[in-house]
Amino acid sequence: MSVLDLDAITQESLIAKGGRKWSTFPGSIGAFIAEMDFGVAPAVRQALREIDERDLYGYAPYGLTADLKSATADFCLDRYGWQIPTDHIEPASDVIAAFVGVLTHLTPADTPIVLPTPAYMPFFDVAKVTGRELIEVPMLRSETGWSMDLDAIAAALTPGATLVLCNPHNPIGKVYTESELLALAEVVESAGARVFSDEIHAPVVYGPARHTPYATLTDATAAHTTTATAASKAFNIPGLKCAQLILTSAEDRQTWAQKGQFVSGAASNPGILATTAAYNSSRDWLAEITGYLKGNRDLLTDLVSTLLPNAAYIQPEGTYLAWLDLRGYGLETDLAKHIESRAEVAVTEGRLCGAVGAGHIRVNFALPRPLLTEAIERIARNL
């Protein structure tokens, strides 16, 4: 793989694959759903061949799940210095399914979800599915960065409430510092609340930013946190359905052992094998892809500055998602629809990320660079 190889990927070849990213809006550049256009690591492809070679079409053998847990623990130790006993790790089909399981089995039914916004769209759906009250707490934005409104979070939290921490934060790309997380932890602990920490984008962070797992901060954060992660975003395998739920509370583990078996049993064999191969044998691939994504991020920053001078934009520190404030162009409703119909670029409507998202769009910049350039040029010509 090389930068030139990725640059040479064409829109026609992506359309021919038939994936959702390129088939949902025919003729448009796919920059909405969070997956990359760069294929997968060789070790992941080989792992998937083993499904057929080993005839692994039945239920996952226990050894397969044990390998997944070991691979997850090794990756977290190497990447973040987080030493996790393997019996603290449970598989799940995806992060959102894990979140529903956590709410259902580990929290009182009448407690709310507190969600810093803008936020990943399915978190809003989880509130509806589980019948929970959802309290949106807008993030604070300065000219140079984002921060949580800790006073507003403190006012929203009640005993047993669940704060959603998305780190790195989808859709704004913020990577929280240790000091920011410690300040948040004081608020959560004082309220007698708990945290669901979505760390699915943690492997895709651009220096000098560094990912700190929230549960590792103190004994208190370990006790009031469940963490969910997956290889799906960083290693580009979201369709294979395998996430990891990390239970750092002994009480949570005891309850999960009694009630969580249907969540833990929902990961697929292809996902388990692919994730294990990603964590164990694909770190060089990840480093190269992250380098390419950093180049894309920097290119996007230049394109926005040059072609969209009325846009407000803070360069993301992690993820391959960008949050663009286009209110300076006088458009606050149906912005994604406007851009798709006139510019033929499919982006995510900001309002789906919370009330604060009006006039914003989320752009996936994990595109071949020529297509990324064309996408922003098309948007600029049609605002």
What is the three-state SS of 328-366? HHCCCCCHHHHHHHHHCEECEEHHHHCHHHCCEEEEECC
Q: Is the pLDDT of residue 4 over 90?
A: no
pLDDT one-digit tens code per residue, 190-220: 999 999 999 999 999 999 999 999 999 999 9
Please, which pLDDT band fits residue 143 given cuts at 50, 70 and 90? confident
CB atoms inside a 10 Å sphere around CB 166: 24
Provide the pLDDT for residue 333. Answer: 85
pLDDT one-digit tens code per residue, 326-361: 999 998 889 999 999 999 999 999 999 999 999 999
Q: pLDDT over 70 for what percent of the chain?
A: 99
Q: Is the pLDDT of residue 1 over 80?
A: no
Residue 287 identity (one-letter amino acid): A
Provide the pLDDT for residue 372. Answer: 98
Provide the pLDDT for residue 144. Answer: 87
* 83-87 LR contacts (CB < 8 Å, sep 24+): 84/246, 84/248, 87/253
Distance CA 197, CA 199 (A): 6
Q: Is the pLDDT of residue 3 over 70?
A: no
pLDDT one-digit tens code per residue, 31-79: 999 999 999 999 999 999 999 999 999 999 999 999 999 999 999 999 9
Buried b (16+ CB within 10 A) or exposed e, 57-92: eeebeeebbebbbebbbebbeebbebebeeebbbbb
Q: Decide the pairing of beta strands 194-198 and 162-166.
A: parallel
Burial class from Cβ neighbours inside 10 Å (0-12, 13-18, 19+) for residue 149 reads middle
300: helix, strand or coil: helix
List, in order, residues 6 or more apart from 306 with CB less than 8 Å away: none
Residue 39 identity (one-letter amino acid): G
Cα angle for residues 258, 262, 266 (degrees, 5° grid): 140
pLDDT one-digit tens code per residue, 240-279: 999 999 999 999 999 999 999 999 999 999 999 999 999 9
Identify the CA nearest to 158 among candidates 130, 135, 184.
135
Distance CA 315, CA 145 (A): 9
Distance CA 264, CA 65 (A): 10
Count of helices and strands (H, E) across the chain: 16, 15
Provide the pLDDT for residue 2. Answer: 57
Determine the average pLDDT of the residues in 217-235.
98
Q: pLDDT over 90 for what percent of the chain?
A: 97
Determine the average pLDDT of the residues in 216-242.
98
Mean pLDDT of the chain: 97
Please, which pLDDT band fits residue 24 given cuts at 50, 70 and 90? very high
Q: Is the pLDDT of residue 109 over 60?
A: yes
List, in order, residues 6 or more apart from 114 with CB less than 8 Å away: 135, 137, 153, 156, 157, 161, 162, 163, 164, 193
